[in-house]
Chain A
């Protein structure tokens, strides 16, 4: 049975990857699971320079999910290459690097740096982080800026480009089409939803940043709809994510139109989730006589 899928020119041995920001730089989980079983490793967002991140508390649990406002703490391009790349480049599966900047030039510069590095599987453009003042979702919620960022990165690199879409738009279709037309090879749908929580005893917000991004199983039905809408709007592959805990969740995203999926928040509480999802997809395919996992993508049957 074929489990492999194609994201632009990048071939994945199976459609299950991890969501940026929930898997560090891969090495942290290497003791708990065999990373070479994954479709791809996706690392936490990196900009040109090191980033200190937001004050604490940075996360809080909510019903069937969590809020986070980490603020993209990270080592910057040079720090990443020095500290984490020697490990990642030895993996047998591709590394997808999530990149961001506060200006279009910075996005392009980071893309150039990783293009020059050699061995990178793909770049994921983070235009949708809700927890930083500049950069992030300001690009993902403005069709023109979105197109400009993608175009600038397209010029800067031949690596496959995945645009990580913001859910915080009235309709995702025009954004999806803008990213496709600007040269994106795939879309990642979706990032976290802007949200907040209050401690009623202290009357203080539970996050130092006041607002954060909602993730986990509680967002899955909303994310499924976004994937369905995005996949209908474009011809490029969509990578679906949002609260995946098991193979059934992943298959649901694929039926909605996702070519591949990413496990996010579940990594935090069950590091083996990705491997369970891969095994479960294989089992489902066998049970239903599916010879190629790509048959599942977009197989939703609307109407009677």
Chain B
């Protein structure tokens, strides 16, 4: 974990609804592990003080990038920033995904919306190629399809309105795939909490391990404020653990779904 003031290399519209921000961060970039995040302070904002957490998408040399959607004040101001301007970054943060080992379980990635961006590094660094299931409401919500193809991964797209790929929820082809074969598989998922809950249930049903990247509202990002907690089982009981520190990636069996979500 380092705090650095970094320069924007580029900040451009990647699709109709997403921007791609590339930052030059020579000390941070080499430390980044799949599933980790960057906590960014948008310096021009004067009355919105808190940092915003973003999953790290790609790492290349001394730069890393994020994909983001303009959803509020922070991302709207960020979208207007240009190459050469500066941001304050604390990164890499959080406990990320376990990178699959050669000859181990086949990785099946399950992504909802921009969850796909958080899984790119995992796919890239996995010695074993697998299947990426990616779902969204509409065609514009499907991200990084090209990038995953370029890594040689099998990409299965679903959209709720049927405008791209198979019509329906992302968990449908996932279930079909798990039924089709009994080979050793492991699920890795990132997306809305509702989707993660269903992925966790499917993992339980098919008795396959699953790592879920939980998306919680965050404040400090480094484990002190206790904003981003989720209920995690501890024997018979449960306790709140921090998404920014113990997570964002949790074993699906750890999450106490009766309280979460």
A22 touches B224 (CB 8 A): yes
Q: A58-B229, A59-B217 are in contact. Are A32 and B222 (CB under 8 A)?
A: yes
Complex Cα gap A70–B49 (Å):
19
Chain B positions within 8 Å of A266 at CB level: 49
- Complex interface: stretch among A61-69, A114-122, A134-142, A184-192: A61-69
- Complex interface: stretch among A1-9, A23-31, A148-156, A255-263: A23-31
How many B residues touch A, CB cutoff 8 Å?
Answer: 27
**Per-residue 0/1 for B85-104: is the Cβ within 8 Å of any A Cβ (1 yes, 0 no)?**
00010100000000000000
Which of B225, B227, B228 counts the most A-chain CB atoms under 10 A from its CB?
B225
Q: A61-B48, A64-B47 are in contact. Are A268 and B90 (CB under 8 A)?
A: no
- Complex interface: stretch among A49-57, A98-106, A164-172, A277-285: A49-57
* Interface size class of chain A, counting residues whose CB lies under 8 Å from the partner chain: 35 or more
A32 touches B1 (CB 8 A): yes
Cβ-neighbour of A63 out of B1, B47, B228 (below 8 A):
B47
Chain B: minimal CB distance from A248 (Å): 15
Cβ-neighbour of A64 out of B41, B49, B222 (below 8 A):
B49
Dominant secondary structure at the B interface: loop
Chain A: minimal CB distance from B221 (Å): 8
B240 touches A52 (CB 8 A): yes
Interface membership of B137, Cβ < 8 A? no
Chain B positions within 8 Å of A32 at CB level: 1-3, 90, 222
Complex Cα gap A73–B220 (Å):
16
Chain B positions within 8 Å of A31 at CB level: 1-2
Chain A positions within 8 Å of B229 at CB level: 53, 56, 58, 73
Q: A53-B240, A63-B47, A217-B49 are in contact. Are A28 and B90 (CB under 8 A)?
A: no
Complex Cα gap A52–B225 (Å):
14
Interface membership of B51, Cβ < 8 A? yes
**Per-residue 0/1 for B189-233: is the Cβ within 8 Å of any A Cβ (1 yes, 0 no)?**
000000000000000000000000000110110111111111000
Cβ-neighbour of A24 out of B41, B47, B49, B223 (below 8 A):
B223
A61 touches B225 (CB 8 A): no
Q: List 18 contacting pairs A-B, 8 Å CB cutoff, sorted by A.
A: A22-B225, A23-B224, A29-B224, A32-B2, A44-B224, A57-B217, A59-B217, A61-B48, A61-B49, A63-B47, A66-B219, A68-B227, A267-B224, A268-B50, A269-B51, A269-B220, A270-B88, A271-B90
